[in-house]
Every structure is written in structure tokens, then in C-alpha cells.
């Protein structure tokens, strides 16, 4: 039985991942911002290992240390897996006009995750065991007009996780970066759905498999690895002329 912390437990993908771990009998502590959604996720996930919840706004960085302390205490001081699944696509156009929206997106998608991982990585390093898995995004692979503020946060987070993975390697702690492509969830309800979208169920299954095998960096679904190789390596002079890549 593993002791698992989940931050952002109310997302559609996280809820399905949690259900898998609950069915395995893991001990779970779930943190989410919306108490109604959090209660619904918990109610759907009976587990022999036990399940507790806490409501927290992870965007309030000054409160994160207390949230982490309470979460670790809820698992009796032992943490085997940290799963970070929160994030916000935000409003790209607004972030171009209002510095406050740009700051909010960077705080939610980058700084709040780092604030969580600073104490938790130290805890796992001291234990010399455990794993960290963080959902980032394919948007972090290259800046594109449609989402470059969000993408900048996720790209910086990818880099942070690379360094953390190498730092924790000697302690036997695994760090998995989950580079998620577009998923048909409530967060993308206003987005035009294309053939590259996947479902929350398929994304959750891929995430569980990646964490189980201790993968380093994983694209979810896997076909995004080739797509983003092309996107990353297209010369900028050509990239800017291709509307399907550089358009809004």
C-alpha cells in the first residue's frame, strides 16, 4: 500500500487516476480548491487504504508550506508518491493586455508547483525513496501565439523537473514529467476539438502506466512526441508562415 498525495485532485484526469489507485488499495490524501468537486471525487473512490481530503488554493503561495505540512501529517509522515495535477489554461489574449493575468498564469502553472516541490522533494530525498509525477503540457515545447503565456510556465516547469530528476536520482527518488496534449475535459470545453484530442480516460491510463514504470519524460498520448519534435524543429522563418502552427 502506497501513501499518495494528490494536488489538483478535482481535475477530470486526476479523478480517474485517483480511482485507479483507490481500487488498488492505496492510502490517499487529496487536495483541491473546490470543496464540492473534491467531495464528489472522494465519494467515488472507496479504498481499503483510507482516503482524506483538504481544501486549499495553491495559488496562494504564502499558504503552501502549511498545506504541505498538513498533507504529510495526514499520511503519518510517510509519502511514497506526489502527484501534481493542477493548472489553468487561462486567457491568452487577456494575458497579453493585463500583466495581472500573465502573473496569475505563471503563478498557478509554475510557481505554485515549485512551492510544493521544494519541501516535498527534500522530504523524499531524506527518505531516500518515493516518486514525484507532475502534469505539464506539450504547450511548453515551443511558444505559439495561441497559448504562449501558459506554454512559458509549462516550459519552465519542464526545465525545473529535469534538474530535480537529476538531483534526486542518487537518492532513489523518481521524477516523472507528464507532457500532456489536448484532452477533452471541462477545462477545454470552449476549444475546437480536433483529431489530436484524447479522452480523460485514455490520458489517465497512460499516466498511471508511466508512473508505474518510473518513466522520466512522457508525452501523453505518445504520438505527441513526434508531433512536437516537428514543431520544435521547424525553422522560425517557416513556422511563422504556417497558420496551423503559428496561428491563434
d(CA 230, CA 10): 33
d(CA 69, CA 82): 13
Residue-wise pLDDT for 77-106, tens only, equals 999 999 999 999 999 999 999 999 999 999
Answer yes or no: is 242 within a domain.
no
Is 8 within 8 Å of 55 (Cβ atoms)? Answer: no
Residue-wise pLDDT for 132-147, tens only, equals 999 999 999 999 999 9
pLDDT at 73 over 90: yes
Answer yes or no: is 227 within a domain.
no
**Which range marks the domain in which residue 209 is found?**
3-222
What is the residue-averaged pLDDT of the chain?
A: 92
φ, ψ (nearest 5 deg) of residue 128 = 60, 40
d(CA 138, CA 165): 19
**CATH number of the domain encompassing residue 64:** 3.40.50.720
φ, ψ (nearest 5 deg) of residue 131 = -150, 155
d(CA 103, CA 74): 32
Answer yes or no: is 166 within a domain.
yes
Contacts of 3 (CB under 8 A, 6+ apart): 26, 27, 29, 75, 76, 78, 79, 80, 81
pLDDT at 199: 86
Answer yes or no: is 228 within a domain.
no
SS3 49: coil
Residue-wise pLDDT for 44-69, tens only, equals 887 778 999 999 999 999 999 999 99
Number of structural domains in the chain:
1
Q: Which residue has the higher pLDDT, 242 or 157?
A: 157
Residue-wise pLDDT for 212-234, tens only, equals 999 999 999 999 999 999 999 99
H-only helix segments in 34-147: 35-43, 64-74, 92-97, 99-106, 112-127
User: Where does 138-239 show beta strands of DSSP type E?
Assistant: 174-180, 183-184, 198-199, 217-220
Answer yes or no: is 235 within a domain.
no
Answer yes or no: is 238 within a domain.
no
Answer yes or no: is 68 within a domain.
yes
Answer yes or no: is 248 within a domain.
no
Q: Is the dihedral of CA 113, 116, 120, 125 positive or negative?
A: positive
Amino acid at each position: 500500500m502506497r501513501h499518495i498525495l494528490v494536488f489538483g485532485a478535482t481535475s477530470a484526469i486526476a479523478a480517474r487516476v485517483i480511482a485507479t489507485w483507490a481500487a488498488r488499495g492505496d492510502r490517499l490524501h487529496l487536495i483541491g480548491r473546490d470543496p464540492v468537486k473534491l467531495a464528489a471525487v472522494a465519494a467515488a473512490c472507496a479504498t481499503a487504504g483510507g482516503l482524506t481530503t483538504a481544501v486549499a488554493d495553491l495559488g496562494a503561495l504564502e499558504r503552501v508550506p502549511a498545506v504541505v505540512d498538513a498533507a504529510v501529517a495526514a499520511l503519518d509522515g510517510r509519502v511514497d508518491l506526489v502527484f501534481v495535477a493542477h493548472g489553468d489554461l487561462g486567457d491568452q489574449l487577456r494575458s497579453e493586455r493585463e500583466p495581472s493575468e500573465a502573473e496569475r498564469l505563471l503563478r498557478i502553472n509554475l510557481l505554485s508547483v515549485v512551492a510544493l516541490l521544494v519541501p516535498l522533494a527534500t522530504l523524499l530525498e531524506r527518505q531516500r525513496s518515493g516518486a514525484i509525477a507532475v502534469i505539464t503540457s506539450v504547450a511548453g515545447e515551443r511558444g505559439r501565439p495561441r497559448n504562449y503565456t501558459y506554454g512559458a510556465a509549462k516550459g519552465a516547469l519542464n526545465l525545473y523537473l529535469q534538474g530535480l530528476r537529476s538531483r534526486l536520482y542518487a537518492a532513489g527518488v523518481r521524477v516523472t514529467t507528464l507532457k500532456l496534449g489536448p484532452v477533452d475535459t471541462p477545462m477545454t470545453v470552449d476549444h475546437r476539438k480536433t483529431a489530436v484530442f484524447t479522452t480523460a480516460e485514455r490520458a489517465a491510463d497512460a499516466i498511471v502506466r508511466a508512473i508505474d514504470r518510473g518513466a522520466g519524460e512522457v508525452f501523453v498520448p505518445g504520438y505527441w512526441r513526434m508531433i512536437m519534435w516537428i514543431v520544435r524543429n521547424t525553422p522560425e522563418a517557416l513556422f511563422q508562415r504556417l497558420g496551423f502552427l503559428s496561428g491563434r
